Amino acid sequence: MKSSEDGGADSLGIGALAARFGLATHVLRHWEAMGLLHPARDAGGRRRYGADDLTHVATILILKEAGLGLNTIRSLSTHVDRATRHGILRPAAEELRSTIAAAQASLELIEGGLNCGYGDVTQCPNYRRLIAERVGPEVP
């Protein structure tokens, strides 16, 4: 991996690394300030990113896409034991399961409306069932 920024062999400057992942350079600086990245420095004090740094950036992006926050990612990046890792990830997994369940319920409602033969969607059996579940038993 050669850098086009200053000719350094086997490393990238911050601009090249940011461009490679479609990030702004300030994002990489922020991640460094949070302790997520630890780039080497050249003789002029400029950041130099090697293959391990590329792996770290890709890992951060994958974990962010999975819904984890930077503080959680930092906690995971400190080589924690299995029990600690489970303690960190279990709440995130539960939150994601809840989000998926809510999205699935929304999709079922929308698909019910798409498949409803009535002119008024409130007359569709699926819609009426959902309303009945929300309202609960009738009060005498």
CATH number of the domain residue 11 falls in:
1.10.1660.10
Angle at 8 between CA 5 and CA 10, to 5 degrees: 115
C-alpha to C-alpha distance for 32 and 49, rounded to whole angstroms? 12
Q: Does residue 89 lie within any of the structural domains? A: no
How much is the mean pLDDT over the chain?
88
Kindly give the residue spans of alpha helices, DSSP state H, lying in 1-140.
14-21, 25-33, 51-65, 70-76, 82-115, 125-135
At residue 1, does pLDDT exceed 70?
A: no
What's the pLDDT score for residue 2? 46
As for how many domains the chain has, the answer is 1
Q: Does residue 103 lie within any of the structural domains? A: no
For residue range 118-139, list pLDDT tens digits in order: 888 888 888 888 888 888 877 6
- Give the pLDDT band of residue 3 (cuts 50, 70, 90): very low
Domain residues for 52?
1-79
60 neighbors 73 (Cβ within 8 angstroms): yes
